Amino acid sequence: MRPIGIFDSGIGGLTVARAIARRLPHEQLIYFGDTAHLPYGDKSADAIRYYALKIVKYLLEQQCKMIVIACNSASTAAYGVLLEFFKEQALFVNVVDPLVEAAAAEPFGKLGLIATKATVNSGVYEQQLYRLRPDLPLHTLATPLLAPMIEEGFVEGKISTAILENYLNDPRLQGIDGLLLACTHYPLIRPQIEAFYQGRVKVLDSTDVVARVVEKQLIQHNLLAAQLSAPHRFYVSDYTPSFEAATRLFYGESVQLDYLPIW
Ligand code: DGL
């Protein structure tokens, strides 16, 4: 009956949290959006590791049985160190491995990936994909304006379309037949990305694939909750109207949103 802890720099991880809540309605979620440090994608790996350690320490104090790192920048920079420090205390799920596995199972010939600078510079996706599909070239592009744009609520309209088209027209992404959205903010603009490609490119994100892995791991460890024990809780390290709007939109009435000054 213990909760699942989920964190991201902001509203992006809510896309993963929503997929988990839909798949596993009996699980209580405690979500932490580190809005005081957003965007993570422009920070150094050391800074992201420091934030992640502190957030996870807090979530473990709340008795979480599992931690979902619902952020690619944190998954690529901090998954190893989190396991090193805390693997005895909870199960850990990152958002990279499930997406790589899903991509490797598709008959793609040329795969593209868009993500933050931190994720692209880490090279983790190339490494992980190479282990499963050495034949499949991965063409990565850092798209650093997208996460802040989404956080500010620009998901439709002239500004977001211009920024998105500029990125997707980049020569590095030409001729792809699959595209990985390797940032948990990007499912919020997935319809715009799909509209740009008009069916020519299959788009994959880490929402449902991560929810499936969460379920599998809980079953394997006999940790599934039988019923919802308490309402979900949502915390932010700095108040932002977009976080509040997105949380209420995703989870309806019963949302408790609190400011948590852990820094
Ligand atoms: N949602 C995060 C990710 O998946 C990061 C966005 C950001 O803060 O840069 O990488």
Domain range annotation of the chain: 4-94+208-259, 97-206
User: In the structure, what pLDDT confidence band is assigned to residue 152 with cuts at 50, 70 and 90?
Assistant: confident
Ligand 1 pocket list (CB less than 6 A): 8-10, 12, 38-41, 71-73, 116, 119, 147, 183-185
DSSP state of 3: P
User: In the structure, what pLDDT confidence band is assigned to residue 193 with cuts at 50, 70 and 90?
Assistant: very high
Rounded to the nearest angstrom, the distance between the alpha carbon of 222 and the centre of ligand 1 is 31
For 131, half-sphere exposure in the C-beta direction (CA atoms, 13 angstrom radius) is 8
User: What strands lie across the sheet with 29-33, from one edge to the other?
Assistant: 91-94, 66-69, 4-8, 29-33, 233-236, 256-259
pLDDT tens digit sequence for 131-147: 999 999 999 999 999 99
CATH class (in words) of the domain with range 97-206: alpha beta
Rounded to the nearest angstrom, the distance between the alpha carbon of 72 and the centre of ligand 1 is 6
Max CA pair span of the chain: 50
In terms of DSSP H, where are the helices of 32-95? 45-61, 72-86
| 171 C-beta neighbours (distance < 10 Å), count | 8
Does the domain at 4-94+208-259 match CATH 3.40.50.1860? Answer given as yes
pLDDT attached to residue 118 = 96
pLDDT attached to residue 243 = 87
The answer to whether residue 254 scores a pLDDT higher than 70 is no
The answer to whether residue 186 scores a pLDDT higher than 70 is yes
The answer to whether residue 244 scores a pLDDT higher than 70 is yes
